[in-house]
Amino acid sequence: MKNELGFNPKNIYRNLSYEEIREHEINNSEGQVTSLGAYTVDTGKFTGRSPKDKFFTPTDDLWVGPVNQEVSLSTWETLKERALAHYEGKDIYLSDCYAGAVDNSNRLQVRIISEIAWQAHFCKNMFIRPSEEELDKFDPEFTIINACKITAEDYQDLGLNSPVFVIFNLKEKMAIIGGTWYGGEMKKGIFSVMHYLLPKKGVLSMHCSANMDKEGHTALFFGLSGTGKTTLSTDPKRQLIGDDEHGWDDEGIFNFEGGCYAKAIRLNPEFEPDIYAAIRENALLENVVLKKDNSVDFDDDSKTKNTRVSYPIEHIENRVRPVSRGNHPEVIIYLCCDAFGVVPPISRLNREQAMEYFISGYTAKVAGTELGINEPKPDFSPCFGGPFLTLHPRRYAELLGEKLDLHNSRVYLVNTGWIGGPYGVGERISLPLTRKIIDSILDGSIEKHGYFTDQSFGLEIPNAIEGIPNEVIHPELAWDNVQHYREEAAKLAQLFKDNHDKY
């Protein structure tokens, strides 16, 4: 094994079954079994990604800027040597898996090494599980060494920002993780790698969810965290393709993942029945609070607002099978959570607007979501996935434009945030109302009554939608002062323009 990985482990627990992983989790006292049958763990200090600690070794076409930082090859070699030395003589969990549901060159063979059973559990949930026959001939094309128990105390000398590090060497086809236990670093790390590899083949890599009806009509849902991307794509009336990461090739849409990673905070079985039902044996909860009877208190955010659950996609009964892929999308929905209360809850975009809003990737952060945020703050993330892009955003936008021209997809913007005023004044649009809006898009009834052009954003807004109050469709009607609405809308529209001009 040393010739293959550079160290001699004590024991290799290779591609364990769910039953075997559960036994290790329990024997290692890594968490608890909940009353729902799912296992729950705490991810330590980090309950989310650590974007300021993500680095790449120098690569010619890497998009270096607000997201991607470079680190020297000498730092890479130093930390890689420490990670390998850390694993010498230790038990390891080795997970061989795929990123990409298609059985062709667009699929990446991934190997992940960790020393914590629940991290192997996370990988088994989130990546695609090869068959026994496929494992026999598995040849990893990218490796992650998760040495989460080590830190770089000499980080300043190494050119890092903290003792934590997540470093990718795209030429060596390897990444090392240190100092953070958060499972999402592995998932999103491979997503970044796919963002680097696929566009070079003409395949658009996307931070979006996808579903399909029984006739094969496919829809995509783009959106940043908290906008409803997972919730709205998990629809009892439609089959789920995937909830977060997809590619768009010449054949259609395909999922990168073999599972789902849903927010668990305030999970409501009435409004999100499919996600709630997925939380059972083999699911893995993160950072939730348990009651005395080991039931989950989904409303308790005392550990973090970013409580999560991962589960294999097989836990969603209403899914596309046997392969998580769909046809070219007829409908594309951009989701934003506007905390200023001015973005129309529903609007139709022309091609130019579709490109502009894709580059913008807008949502808003509200008070309490991050330290120091006391009022709504606009958040622009290019291509609705800025933290994971490894090429310049224009590269992905150009590919999207080509796909739109080829397949005539209709594009809509849906605001799942506030109306009648900003956060703290207005009200958030209810999930049932948003689902009705989505339904009208998917069944085409939104086109029945025509559109008018909004003054503030220049967007096409439907004159009416059956079952949706006028003050929801026409946001200025929900404000006490129409002039005040228009002034606030003009401010946000200018922020959109300023952000778009950067790219």
* Count of beta carbons in the 10 Å neighbourhood of residue 158: 19
Active site residue 53: no
Q: Are 326 and 218 in contact (CB under 8 A)?
A: yes
Rounded to 5 degrees, φ, ψ at 281 are -50, 135
Residue pointed to by tokens 């796919």: 194
Catalytic residue from among 49, 129, 187, 348: 49
Active-site residue identified among 218, 230, 310, 390: 230
Euclidean distance between CA atoms 400 and 383, whole angstroms: 10
- 3-state DSSP call for residue 364? strand
Q: Could you confirm whether 244 is annotated as catalytic? A: yes
Catalytic residue selected from 129, 207, 263, 315: 207
DSSP E strand stretches across 133-237: 142-147, 165-169, 174-178, 204-212, 218-222
Token code pair at residue 493: 């529209």
Residue closest to 440 by CA, chosen among 473, 407, 409, 418:
473
Other Cβ atoms less than 10 A from the Cβ of 140: the count is 17
**Which one of the listed residues 107, 121, 187, 188 is annotated catalytic?**
188
Q: Which residue has the tokens 């002034």?
A: 487
> Exactly one of 59, 78, 151, 225 is catalytic; which is it?
225
Q: Which of 316, 315, 130, 125 is nearest to 212 (CA)?
A: 316
Is 229 designated active site?
yes
Write down the residue that tokens 């929801």 correspond to: 472
Strand partners, 222: 208, 334
Which distant-in-sequence residues (6+ apart) come within 8 Å of 29 by Cβ? none
Indicate if 230 belongs to the active site. yes
Residues 6 or more apart whose Cβ sits within 8 Å of residue 51: 67, 387
| Omega before residue 376 within 30° of 0, cis | no
Answer yes or no: 238 catalytic.
Answer: no
Active-site residue 49, yes or no?
yes
Tokens read off for 252: 């259609």
Structure tokens at 275: 């996600």
Q: Which residue has the tokens 């006028």?
A: 470
Alpha-helix residue ranges (DSSP H) falling in 141-281: 155-158, 184-197, 229-233, 273-278
Residues 435, 232 contacting (CB under 8 angstroms): yes
Give dist(CA 360, CA 444) in Å, integer.
Answer: 26
The catalytic residue positions are 49, 188, 207, 225, 229-230, 244, 308
